[in-house]
Amino acid sequence: MLASLDPSQPRPLRAIAVLAAIAVAVAVAFMTIGANGQWDFVLSFRGSKLAAMALVGYAIAVSTVLFQTITANRILTPAIMGLDSLFILIQTSLVFALGSGRVALIAPQAMFLVHCAAMIGFSWLLYRTLFSGRLQSLHLVMLVGLVLGVLFRSLATLMQRIMSPNEFIVLQDRLFANFNAVNTDVLLISAVAVAAATMLGWRSLRTFDVLALGRDAAISLGVDYKATVTLVLIIVAVLVSVSTALVGPVTFFGLLVASLAYRIAGSSKHIHVLPVAVLLAITALIGGQLVLERVFALNTALSIIIEFAGGIAFIILTLRSAR
């Protein structure tokens, strides 16, 4: 560890080493602080929550950084594509049509696959329709995704106003990201999907660096722009779908993590920025959950604090870009 923190090493490597040490320390604290009773139960119960938070942090961090790369805009997140709104519409439609009692009886694996299939299918249809042939307009894809996201939320709001108050209360619990009630039955499926998406993009890290220079520069340097952007969009769709289906929508967390990662890493290379963003996301989720459980006794939700901090970061970044 002392060698990894050698001041003679480049700044990104030192940042990664420090953040890795902090992430490990926070994970150990989460697993051990306040642990009473049989350790086999404690490790199993807390270990599943730890794995879920690490998986979600990884998926959100990677998807946001890659999405900002292809859009050449560091104040955008994959939420602009309407996937979060689609998740809300699916949940609302199920409770509206079947009732909360019947929805609760649906197997977690089936519900997870339904959400992932719907969001990935929607993304594929959007890319296939608007990012092929002569169009190949990424801005048009984002604009249509934004409009459809507003439509999805409007339809969901309409059904929420019609349903009974009891059903609406049950639905509200499903619409906020919840790190306390992660279903362990879908963790393995989530891990496999995230690993597959990672393998797709791992070999193209250097290509992503060129892609960040812009469309014209990337094409002039020999990058197959359409194929590379399509690959990134597929990876982003899978990662966002998995994280949203696993815990619920988290809109601004990726923006907060990505913005801090670029500043801490001091580099725009993906081989540096991505590990920093992932470690920041994992540390923030695990550390935040630890504080909420041990200090505030679960009197609030981690997602509310995350969205508040991310919203402030979004406002600051927007004002700076305007200047």
| pLDDT, tens digit, 9 for 90 and up, residues 68-86 | 888 887 777 888 888 888 8
Residue 18 structure tokens: 């420090």
pLDDT confidence tier of residue 6, bands split at 50, 70 and 90: very low
Averaged pLDDT of the chain = 81
Two tokens at 98?
A: 């079947």
pLDDT band at residue 322, thresholds of 50, 70 and 90? Answer: low
Examine the pLDDT at 152 and tell me if it is beyond 80: yes
Name the residue type at position 237: A
> How confident is the model over 288-294, as a mean pLDDT?
80
Residue 312 has pLDDT above 70, yes or no: yes
Predicted local confidence at residue 8, as pLDDT: 45
Average pLDDT over residues 46-59: 87
CA distance 205 to 255: 20
pLDDT score recorded for residue 278: 93
Residue pLDDT, tens place only, 220-271? 888 888 888 888 888 998 998 888 888 878 777 888 888 888 888 888 888 8
Interval 210-217 mean pLDDT: 83
Structure tokens at 114: 């339904």
Between residues 293 and 277, the one the model is more confident about: 277
Confidence of residue 151 (pLDDT cuts 50, 70, 90): very high
Instruction: Name the band, by pLDDT with cuts 50, 70 and 90, for residue 40.
Output: confident
Rounded Cα gap, residues 168 and 49, in angstroms: 27
Amino acid at the residue 310: G
Specify the amino acid at residue 178. Answer: N
| pLDDT for the residue 3 | 39
Q: Which two tokens stand for residue 220?
A: 């002039």
Alpha-carbon gap, residue 199 to 296, rounded angstroms: 39
DSSP letter assigned to residue 78? G
Q: Please give the DSSP secondary-structure letter assigned to residue 185.
A: G
Q: Which residues contact 215 (CB under 8 A, 6 or more apart)?
A: 225
Signed CA dihedral, 231, 283, 78, 107: sign only: positive
CB 252 within 8 A of CB 314: yes
Cα radius of gyration rounded to whole Å, the chain? 20
Average pLDDT estimate for 92-105: 86
Are the C-beta atoms of residues 279 and 294 closer than 8 Å to each other? no
Question: Helices then strands (H, E): number in the chain?
Answer: 14, 0
Tell me the two tokens of residue 322: 């305007």
Taking alpha carbons only, the member of 278, 277, 252 closest to residue 264 is 277
Domains of the chain, CATH where assigned: 11-29+37-322 (1.10.3470.10)
Percentage of the chain beyond pLDDT 70 is 86
SS3 18: helix
Structure tokens, 112: 């997870």
Locate tokens 């969009």: which residue?
A: 233
Residue 36: Cβ within 10 Å count: 6
- Residue 282 has a pLDDT of 92
| pLDDT-above-90 percentage for the chain | 12
- DSSP at 274: H
